[in-house]
């Protein structure tokens, strides 16, 4: 249920509604709008009488039921797009930030060198996995805390914030200490214990879509973070598992306009895990900018042939720079900047 406050309702009226909702056992979430505030009430099933108490309070305009399975992520609750600030880098506005870096952190020198090169090309953030969710338990699993320290060093040298994956609720506190944004990988999009844990923190979460998750399931998964109080969620389409084998996954580019219609959360594209081959990363990235994506996350490695993971889909720093230049032209044509 959404509680729509009247235009001009004052702070005291809002505070009283929040307090009452809390006393009645709901979890109220305030969503500040330009014109008026609305409050999302979660946990109201079968409690119509209690909800009506709130409907009759001073300053309340109306109660609107939320028809979708997802609530706090929906446009019904918040019609304006959300802008998520990650240590000063803003996702969801006119600018389209580009995150770049290797699939896995392979050591301090390597991540610093990559960070310097992607910064020179115009990237806004570093990516790099320290905990790797590999398909096989026999593949390299990441440098763990040492990798986080390496990323922190690269941030210190370049000033670029970083995103890194967290694969398990027991690592949330450790990753929190270092990262500017948590990444939840495609394989963990429905790891609800992990999502709830991240919802209790105040750091942004880059939540990737699963390889076989419908948009409705995806947005509903984001509720596990939002309903715990963390409103800083950025979505990311990274390709679906289909019958096609020429690419690693099939990029569902239509997820961008669909999600923009249904949700206020920023939606990014990961062209690298969709393509699986570096040759396709450029065309998919340009399509992402043209269709209105709010950011990109691209794998870049100083020497892709020697990468410990995902070398085949990684761009060299020179290829990345060239791509950044061509994406800038497309961004201008659609009224955005990179």
Q: At which residue do the structure tokens 């394989």 appear?
A: 187
What character string, x for contact with ligand PEP (CB under 6 A) and - otherwise, covers 158-197? ---------------------------xxx----------
Interface with Mn ion by CB under 5 A: which range of 163-171, 243-251, 285-293, 303-311? 303-311
Whether the Cβ atoms of residue 272 and residue 248 lie closer than 8 Å to each other = no
Residue closer to ligand PEP, measured from CB, 186 or 331: 186
Does residue 238 bind ligand PEP (CB under 6 A)? yes
Minimal distance in Å, beta carbon 186 to Mn ion?
10
Q: Which does 317 bind (CB under 5 to 8 A by kind): ligand PEP, Mn ion, none?
A: none
Three-state secondary structure string covering 143-186:
CCHHHHHHHHHHHHHHCCCEEEECCCHHHHHHHHHHCCEEEECH
Rule CB under 6 A: say whether 128 interacts with ligand PEP.
no
Shortest approach of Mn ion to residue 273 CB, angstroms? 6
Identity of the residue, 97 or 304, whose beta carbon is nearer to Mn ion in the bound complex: 304
Query: Sign of the C-alpha dihedral, residues 78, 79, 83, 84?
Result: positive
Q: Which is nearer to Mn ion, 40 or 101 (CB)?
A: 101
Distance CA 131, CA 221 (A): 21
Which of 40, 97, 101, 129 is close enough to bind ligand PEP by CB under 6 A?
129
- How far are the Cα atoms of 89, 97, 155, 304 from residue 160, in angstroms, in the given order? 9, 12, 5, 22
**Calpha distance 208→237 (Å, rounded):** 6
Q: Which does 238 bind (CB under 5 to 8 A by kind): ligand PEP, Mn ion, none?
A: ligand PEP
List the structure tokens of 49. 């009488």
Q: Does residue 103 bind ligand PEP (CB under 6 A)?
A: yes
Which burial class, exposed, middle or buried, applies to 30 when counting CB atoms under 10 A from its CB (0-12, 13-18, 19+)? Answer: middle
Q: Which residues pair with 104 in a beta bridge?
A: 129
Min dist CB 80 to ligand PEP, Å, is 28
Looking at 78, 208, 301, 336, which residue binds ligand PEP (CB under 6 A)?
A: 208
State the binding partner of 154 from Mn ion, ligand PEP, none, CB within 5 to 8 A by kind. none
186's contact among ligand PEP, Mn ion, none, with CB below 5 to 8 A by partner kind, is ligand PEP
Main-chain dihedrals φ then ψ at residue 67, nearest 5 degrees: -80, -20
C-beta of 36 vs 134, nearer to ligand PEP: 134
Residues facing 42 on adjacent strands: 27
CB-nearer residue toward ligand PEP: 92 or 129: 129
Q: Which single residue brings its beta carbon nearest to Mn ion?
A: 103
Burial class (CB in 10 A: 0-12, 13-18, 19+), 87: middle
List all residues 6 or more positions away from 15 whose beta carbon is below 8 Å from its beta carbon.
none
CB 61 within 8 A of CB 214: no
Q: Which is nearer to ligand PEP, 41 or 307 (CB)?
A: 307
- Cα–Cα distance between 194 and 230 in angstroms, integer? 13
Which residues between 49 and 108 bind Mn ion (CB under 5 A)? 103
**Least Cβ distance, residue 151 to ligand PEP (angstroms):** 13
Residue 207, token pair as written in the block: 């939540």
310 near Mn ion (CB under 5 A) = yes
Residue 273 engages ligand PEP in binding (rule: CB under 6 A): yes
Least distance (Å) between residue 129 CB and ligand PEP: 5
Report the number of secondary-structure helices (H) and strands (E) in the chain: 11, 14
Q: What are the residues binding Mn ion (CB under 5 A)?
A: 103, 310
Residues that bind ligand PEP (CB under 6 A): 103, 129, 133, 185-187, 208, 238, 270, 273
């Amino acid at each position: 249920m959404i509680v729509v406050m009247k235009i001009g309702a004052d702070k005291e009226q809002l505070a009283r509604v929040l307090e009452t909702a809390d006393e009645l056992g709901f979890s109220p979430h305030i969503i500040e709008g330009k014109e008026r505030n609305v409050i999302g009430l979660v946990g109201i099933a079968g409690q119509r009488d209690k909800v009506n108490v709130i409907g009759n309070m001073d300053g309340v305009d109306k109660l609107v039921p939320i028809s979708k399975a997802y609530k706090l992520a929906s446009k019904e609750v918040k019609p304006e797009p959300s802008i998520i600030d990650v240590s000063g880098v803003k996702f969801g506005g006119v600018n389209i930030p580009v995150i770049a870096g290797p699939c896995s952190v392979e050591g301090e020198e390597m991540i610093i060198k990559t960070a310097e090169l992607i910064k020179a090309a115009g990237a806004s953030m570093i990516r790099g996995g320290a905990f790797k969710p590999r398909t096989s338990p026999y593949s390299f699993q990441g440098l763990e805390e040492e990798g986080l320290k390496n990323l922190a060093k690269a941030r210190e040298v370049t000033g670029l914030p970083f995103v890194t994956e967290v694969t398990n609720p027991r690592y949330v506190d450790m990753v929190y200490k270092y990262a500017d944004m948590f990444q939840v990988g495609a394989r963990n999009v429905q790891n609800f214990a992990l999502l709830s844990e991240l919802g209790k923190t105040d750091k942004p979460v880059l939540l990737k879509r699963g390889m076989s998750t419908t948009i409705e399931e995806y947005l509903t998964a984001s509720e596990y973070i939002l309903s715990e109080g963390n409103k800083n969620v950025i979505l990311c389409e990274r390709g679906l598992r289909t019958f096609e084998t020429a690419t690693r996954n099939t990029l569902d580019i239509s997820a961008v306009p669909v999600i923009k219609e249904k949700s206020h959360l920023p939606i990014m594209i990961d062209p690298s895990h969709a393509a699986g081959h570096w040759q396709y990363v450029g065309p998919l990235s340009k399509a992402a900018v043209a269709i209105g994506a709010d950011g990109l996350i691209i794998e870049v490695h100083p020497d892709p042939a020697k990468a410990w993971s995902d070398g085949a889909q990684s761009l060299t720093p020179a290829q990345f720079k060239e791509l950044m230049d061509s994406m800038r032209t497309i961004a201008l044509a659609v009224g955005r900047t990179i």
